[in-house]
Amino acid sequence: MESIRAWFQRHLADPQVMGLAAVLLAGFFIVFLTGKMLAPVIASIIIAYLLEGLVSLLQRHALPRLAAVLLVFVGFIAFMAFVTFALLPLLSRQATQLFQLLPEMLTSGQSALMRLPERYPELFSEAQVRDLIDTIRIEALSYGQQVVSLSVSSVVSVITVTVYLILMPLLVFFFLKDKERIVDWFARFLPRDRGLISQVWVDVDRQIGNYVRGKFIEIVIVWVTTFLTFSLMGMQFAMLLGVLVGVSVLIPYIGAAAVTVPVAVLAYFQWGVQPEFWWLLGAYAVIQALDGNVLVPLLFSEVVDLHPVAIIVAVLIFGGLWGFWGVFFAIPLATLVQAVLKAWPNLAQVDGSDKQRADEQADTAQ
């Protein structure tokens, strides 16, 4: 009990530490318990946080705050209009065409699998191949049933998306316009002695802001580059695959490996094992290499200082808690944890200061 009491006094007796712990716990429980209900608000805060960098940049060029907000907000609305009325319909058409081709692709794949026992009898037996084909059919049927169930609930989805499209732009505008008022209002509920909270926030704000904006730029660059490359090579579903490859950069290490499967499968069913197939895989490998060795170091050289094991653990934990958004913000949240641990009173430093204080007292007594 004495050791527990001593640990508590070292790490939790400081009012600033308790204030930081209370703020972190309150934020976690608010997001965890009300995340679904407040999803438009949370998404609007994230978008406003992304756009704040552009607003600050315009302000540094002597543009008034309101004019900068209006200019950035108009650009945001134009981007959303492009995504809603141009990109999403195109992706929907290509996805529909892909689903229509699935039976033909499955038949072609079945024929290719049935040739495996003839070519490699020492590796594959006909019974193994038939079991594999049956498994693929069952999985495809299950996936088709899920698609049908999603289409049945599409009316609810359309209503939800409509509400989001109306509410979120309004929320984003007011979060940008009244940023100072909103921040001041929230600051009223924080402890007055909040030096540790401010220290953590400065570190987290710098790293998370740069990371999220850099990740958005990386997604756009990888998406556009992949789309243009696949289009020039005559690949079907170039836009759909480009978006998949772009979004795959959200999941470190795993995303690139996962999206390689649909790229290779669709290229195989379009060309077979022909030179075009290998040229496309080579171009895709070059894109991934340039992304990992040029683009990522350029965008995130001073942002993320996390070990790969920490990144994978963060993806698993936060992805399990909040799904897609947990995966998206896994690295920023891990950065938050790292900043808190860095700012937290260090045990060795505390022990050292206690020892130094004891030595000083002993010298004074002598």
What is the rounded CA–CA span in Å between residue 32 and residue 331?
Answer: 18
Could you tell me if 226 and 245 are in contact, meaning their C-beta atoms sit under 8 angstroms apart? yes
Among 204-218, 252-266, 333-347, name the most confident range: 252-266
Could you tell me if 279 and 338 are in contact, meaning their C-beta atoms sit under 8 angstroms apart? no
Q: How far apart, in Å, do the first and last CA atoms of the chain sit? A: 33
| Dihedral-angle region of residue 323 (phi above 0 means left; psi in -120 to 50 means alpha; beta otherwise) | left
Tell me what the mean pLDDT of segment 149-167 comes to.
Answer: 61
Side chain identity at 214, as an amino acid letter?
A: G
186's tokens: 């929230």
Helices (H), ranges, 153-237: 154-177, 179-187, 195-232
Tell me what the mean pLDDT of segment 117-139 comes to.
Answer: 74
DSSP category for residue 273? S
Percent of the chain exceeding pLDDT 90 equals 12
137's tokens: 């059919």
> pLDDT tens for residues 25-47?
777 777 777 767 777 887 888 78
> pLDDT tens for residues 44-96?
887 888 888 888 888 888 889 899 999 999 999 998 888 888 888 888 888 88
pLDDT at 227: 94
Q: Which residue has the tokens 């079991």?
A: 131
> pLDDT tens for residues 270-300?
888 888 999 999 999 999 888 888 887 777 6
Could you tell me if 32 and 39 are in contact, meaning their C-beta atoms sit under 8 angstroms apart? no
What is the rounded CA–CA span in Å between residue 311 and residue 298?
Answer: 19
What is the rounded CA–CA span in Å between residue 32 and residue 322?
Answer: 8
Closest CA to 19 of 203, 182, 199: 199
> Domain limits of the chain?
193-344
**Per-residue confidence at 247, pLDDT binned at 50, 70, 90?**
confident
pLDDT at 5: 63
3 state DSSP class of 328: helix
